Amino acid sequence: MNLAARAATAMRAAALVCASLAICASGASAASPERIRIGSGPSALDGLLYSPAGPGPHPAVIALHGCGGLTNARGELSARHADWGERLSRQGFAVLFPDSFGSRGLGSQCRVRERDVRASRERIEDAAAALRYLAGRRDIDAKKIALLGWSNGGSSVVYAVQPRHAVRGPDFAAAIAFYPGCTLIERRGTWRTRLPLLVLSGEADDWTPAAPCVAMVRNAARQGDRAEIVTYPGAYHNFDAPGQPVRLQRNLAFTGDGGGSAHSGTNEPARADAIARVSAFLKR
């Protein structure tokens, strides 16, 4: 390993340690995530794993971050991810966050048009690697591993659930996508899901509009797929983030109208409903 690679590895490890320490210091939860490695060799991923109390085997959730990455500018696990990790682990789920960008020495990709890590390819492979990792652990029930993602990670979920991306061995049990980008895949008119899928989108979302997802999911449901979508009036992108004021984000690589600007922030009624729906969906 050359010096640049060693430095990048050290920086990733430091960021993940910082993320773990930040959660411990916050006092939000008694449990903090464990820093883990998924796979080996050049393609190995860094990740953070929340483990519930007790010996297991536990059901699990693989959670895919959005285009902003897993951590914030200070190297701390972002508030949305920490909130969901703590919440779901309290409910008895192990929650694994694979770091698709930081593991490859990348920062936020929200303003990058030509991406080396694509929702339709590399991130699907990352999800499959995380599935193999969890399925091989004694404390995880390999038949009860769900896939969840937000924004760019939600788009990865929408791609990953297609029948052509079925995995060998234990498959995902179900999937949830928060405000995915559905425009390109919906235009093809061939999208189907092999898994029970729940999509949650804001009706006011001008970053990844809900309408293409509504059409895509309803078409699959008419053909007998176990797919459902819930849309929230007045809710923008990142509506489930805790305590995030709505702001206009500029210079984004991809937005609904192609203009590069979109709104993002918490919608409390939508957030509360989504929390309840996700919990109920996973327990089913």
Q: What is the DSSP string of 23-70?
A: HHHHTS-S--PEEEEESSGGG-EEEEEE--SSS-PEEEEEEE--TT-S
Query: Greatest CA separation found in the chain?
Result: 55
For 227-262, the pLDDT digits (tens) are 999 999 999 999 999 999 999 999 999 999 999 999
Instruction: Report the domain count for the chain.
Output: 1
Nearest-CA neighbor of 27 among 75, 71, 82, 80?
82
Look up residue 171 and give its DSSP letter: P
Look up residue 149 and give its DSSP letter: E
Work out the pLDDT band at 74, boundaries 50, 70, 90.
Answer: confident
The whole-number pLDDT of residue 75 equals 85
The CB density around residue 34, as the number of other CB atoms within 10 Å, is 14
Separation of alpha carbons 217 and 144, rounded Å? 23
Looking at every residue in the chain, the average pLDDT score rounds to: 90
The whole-number pLDDT of residue 29 equals 40
List the strands of the sheet with 175-178, edge to edge: 34-38, 45-50, 94-98, 58-64, 140-150, 175-178, 197-202, 227-232
The whole-number pLDDT of residue 73 equals 84
List % helix, strand, coil for the chain (3-state, nearest 5): 35, 20, 45
Mean pLDDT of 124-132: 98
Mean pLDDT of 1-27: 38
The whole-number pLDDT of residue 6 equals 35
CATH number at residue 13: 3.40.50.1820
The yes-or-no verdict on residue 4 having pLDDT over 60 is no
The yes-or-no verdict on residue 76 having pLDDT over 60 is yes
Separation of alpha carbons 212 and 93, rounded Å? 31
Contact 256, 209 (CB under 8 A): yes
- How many CA atoms does the CB half-sphere of 56 hold within 13 Å? 18
Mean pLDDT of 20-44: 67
Domain of residue 21: give its range: 3-283
Say what percent of the chain tops pLDDT 90: 85
For 260-276, the pLDDT digits (tens) are 999 999 999 999 999 99
For 214-226, the pLDDT digits (tens) are 999 999 999 999 9
The yes-or-no verdict on residue 24 having pLDDT over 50 is no
The conformational region for residue 29 under phi > 0 = left, psi -120 to 50 = alpha, else beta, is beta
Q: CA 155 → CA 66, 176, 208, 236, distances in Å?
A: 9, 10, 10, 16
For 162-194, the pLDDT digits (tens) are 999 999 989 999 999 999 999 999 999 999 999
Work out the pLDDT band at 7, boundaries 50, 70, 90.
Answer: very low
